[in-house]
A and B are shown apart, each in its own frame.
Chain A
Amino acid sequence: MPGKSVRVMDADSMARTLSRIAHELLERHKTVEGLALVGIRSRGVPLANRLAGLLNELDGHRPETGVLDINLYRDDLSLIADHPILRRTEIPFELDGSKIVLVDDVLFTGRTIRAALDGLMDLGRPAWIQLVVFVDRGHREVPIRADYVGKNIPTARTQEVEVRLEEMDGADEVLLHDEPPSRSASREQGRQR
């Protein structure tokens, strides 16, 4: 792999961080009844499922979960040579009047979240939407902030933050790359699966 890579979080610290976010959600909302977690493809999806499991242990209710593919709402489609591979959006509950917690792995420019908000609004009219991100790496290009942040990682713009998850990557860890690894390079092209 070209360039230097540093592991900034391991499986234990990731588990503690996710548990803290679950407690914060409960602290703010008292109960998880009526909450729905929507994961943004790809890595927001397992994160949302884990959070739902943790909330179930803490509160005795498992919030509903959904999956959002934002590719049809991207603002850079006319700049991308290969249109990203589409996956299904699966929101198995009524969005009108619902309380939505969006979940994603990394908050960077904020454009993905902008697209996710547009995508959700097309599906219905939630009462409100909050945002959980596992890593906030800065460098926002639109005025968007997260309500719950796992870890703030100061980065240079050229660096790449990679959140790896057991369910998809075989291990839980957060890596900071000086140069983007090949998977993240293809993610910039929107070609990730």
Chain B
Amino acid sequence: MRLRSRHLLGIAGLEPEEIRLILDTAESFAEVGTREIKKVPTLRGKTVVNFFVEPSTRTRSSFELAEKRLSADAINFTAASSSFLKGETLLDTARNLEALVPDFIVIRHSEAGAPHFLARRTGCSIINAGDGAHEHPTQALLDAYTIRRRKPFEGLKVAIVGDILHSRVARSNVLLLSKMGSEVVVCGPPTLLPPGIERLGCRATHQLDEALERADVVMALRLQLERMSGGYLPSVREYARLFGLTAERLQRATPDAIVMHPGPLNRGVEIAGEVADGARSVILEQVTNGVAVRMAVLYLLAGEIEREAAA
């Protein structure tokens, strides 16, 4: 059993068995994270470039920690410090990164498809760490890992609530969970639900109470105000009143429902503080699991690099 591609560009390209392989492998790396010495020599001598054109703290830190725990050498190119701001094209930047002879490029970019562009034009393994409003596969994988530790995917009802339109996390999660046999409902105001989202394999509703009814997993998403040029919402307060996840509204979900959020949180907007800090919240567990899942992805893709070289 192995991954078919040497890149991780999106959940769309993964088969259910490949998703299971990544999640199973992550179990082993979760154990490494509980040790006193949280480091294994597995990717010694491999180089990873973390190429983050869009600001990110938690995803980049999570990747960096995963790389360090596998003994890979990591360097960071970030938007503020990169030549990108000086007018260089993506292709030129990519060529320069490739001249450093890395084994992996982890890319976060504001344009959908940027990782795919790099995958076609460079010789190393590309990992998509979020491209525009398209996909964020490692986030969906870590969410799936967190869910699977508590409940099997088959027949699970998952509600994803919030700014679906701008959310690559929502897209990747809908794709992954529907592939694994879960029932997914996305919920948000009409302006923040992209038309045709059902084609990804989910149901869509504008009624929060309907989405939460008997949900086993509730995922709240942040309003990405920085991507909104205006006109999407009458006011943030009204949004919070209609779509904010409160303890009272959560009562419609199953008694053992878990609450997830990819971060960063806007307390009192998409999620009430008491829910984010409550017993059902697995938000911080998601962060911890992210490192193990990213280690698993790097480990499995590293095998694929060698396969290409041997072929």
**Residue A86 contacts which of B299, B302, B306 (CB distance < 8 angstroms)?**
B299
Total chain B interface residues with beta-carbon distance under 8 A: 27
Known A-B contacts A72-B41, A72-B42, A123-B35; the reply to A77 vs B302 at CB < 8 A is yes
| A73, B41: Cβ atoms closer than 8 Å | yes
In the complex, what distance in Å separates the CA atom of A133 from the CA atom of B102? Answer: 41
| A69, B28: Cβ atoms closer than 8 Å | yes
For residue A188, which residues in chain B have a CB less than 8 angstroms away from its CB? none
For residue B296, which residues in chain A have a CB less than 8 angstroms away from its CB? 86
A82 proximal to B (CB < 8 A): yes
Known A-B contacts A69-B28, A87-B28, A89-B31; the reply to A82 vs B37 at CB < 8 A is no
Question: What residue of chain A has the Cβ atom nearest to residue B32's Cβ?
Answer: A72
Question: What residue of chain B has the Cβ atom nearest to residue A73's Cβ?
Answer: B41
Question: What residue of chain A has the Cβ atom nearest to residue B299's Cβ?
Answer: A83
In the complex, what distance in Å separates the CA atom of A83 from the CA atom of B299? Answer: 7
B82 proximal to A (CB < 8 A): no
Q: What 7 A-B pairs come out closest when comparing CB atoms? A: A83-B303, A81-B307, A86-B28, A72-B40, A82-B2, A72-B42, A122-B37
B226 proximal to A (CB < 8 A): no
Q: Among residues 52 to 93 in chain A, which have CB atoms less than 8 Å away from a CB atom of chain B?
A: 69, 72-73, 77-83, 85-90
In the complex, what distance in Å separates the CA atom of A89 from the CA atom of B37? Answer: 14
CB distance from B48 to the nearest CB of A (A): 15
| B39, A122: Cβ atoms closer than 8 Å | yes
| B31, A77: Cβ atoms closer than 8 Å | no
| A89, B302: Cβ atoms closer than 8 Å | no
Tell me the dominant secondary structure on chain B's binding face. Answer: helix
For residue A83, which residues in chain B have a CB less than 8 angstroms away from its CB? 2, 299-300, 302-303
B1 proximal to A (CB < 8 A): yes
B78 proximal to A (CB < 8 A): no
In the complex, what distance in Å separates the CA atom of A85 from the CA atom of B39? Answer: 18
Could you give, for residues 81-107 of chain A, a 1 whenever the CB lies within 8 Å of some chain B CB and a 0 otherwise? 111011111100000000000000000
In the complex, what distance in Å separates the CA atom of A70 from the CA atom of B115? Answer: 33
Interface size class of A (residues with CB under 8 A): 20 to 34
* A-B contact list, 28 entries, CB within 8 Å: A72-B32, A72-B40, A72-B41, A72-B42, A73-B40, A73-B41, A73-B42, A78-B45, A78-B306, A80-B303, A81-B304, A81-B306, A82-B1, A82-B307, A83-B2, A83-B299, A83-B302, A83-B303, A85-B1, A85-B24, A85-B25, A86-B296, A89-B28, A118-B41, A122-B35, A123-B36, A123-B37, A191-B1
| B303, A81: Cβ atoms closer than 8 Å | yes
In the complex, what distance in Å separates the CA atom of A118 from the CA atom of B40? Answer: 10
Could you give, for residues 20-50 of chain B, a 1 whenever the CB lies within 8 Å of some chain A CB and a 0 otherwise? 0100110111011001110111100100000
For residue B310, which residues in chain A have a CB less than 8 angstroms away from its CB? 81
| B303, A122: Cβ atoms closer than 8 Å | no
For residue A82, which residues in chain B have a CB less than 8 angstroms away from its CB? 1-2, 303, 307
Could you give, for residues 280-311 of chain B, a 1 whenever the CB lies within 8 Å of some chain A CB and a 0 otherwise? 00000000000000001001101110110010
A124 proximal to B (CB < 8 A): yes
For residue A80, which residues in chain B have a CB less than 8 angstroms away from its CB? 303, 306
Which residues from chain B sit less than 8 Å from chain A, CB to CB? 1-2, 21, 24-25, 27-29, 31-32, 35-37, 39-42, 45, 296, 299-300, 302-304, 306-307, 310
In the complex, what distance in Å separates the CA atom of A161 from the CA atom of B25? Answer: 28
Question: What residue of chain B has the Cβ atom nearest to residue A119's Cβ?
Answer: B40
In the complex, what distance in Å separates the CA atom of A66 from the CA atom of B45? Answer: 30
In the complex, what distance in Å separates the CA atom of A85 from the CA atom of B300? Answer: 9
For residue A124, which residues in chain B have a CB less than 8 angstroms away from its CB? 36
CB distance from B298 to the nearest CB of A (A): 10
| A86, B25: Cβ atoms closer than 8 Å | yes
| A88, B1: Cβ atoms closer than 8 Å | no
| A88, B31: Cβ atoms closer than 8 Å | yes
CB distance from A160 to the nearest CB of B (A): 22
Given contacts A73-B41, A122-B35, A123-B36, 10 further A-B contacts (CB under 8 A): A77-B303, A80-B303, A80-B306, A81-B303, A81-B306, A82-B307, A83-B299, A85-B1, A87-B28, A89-B28
CB distance from B307 to the nearest CB of A (A): 4
Question: What residue of chain B has the Cβ atom nearest to residue A121's Cβ?
Answer: B37
A79, A83, A90, A124: most-surrounded residue (chain B CB, <10 A): A83
In the complex, what distance in Å separates the CA atom of A69 from the CA atom of B24? Answer: 14
Could you give, for residues 117-152 of chain A, a 1 whenever the CB lies within 8 Å of some chain B CB and a 0 otherwise? 010001110000000000000000000000000000
CB distance from B5 to the nearest CB of A (A): 13
| B299, A88: Cβ atoms closer than 8 Å | no
For residue A87, which residues in chain B have a CB less than 8 angstroms away from its CB? 28
| A122, B299: Cβ atoms closer than 8 Å | no
For residue B42, which residues in chain A have a CB less than 8 angstroms away from its CB? 72-73, 77
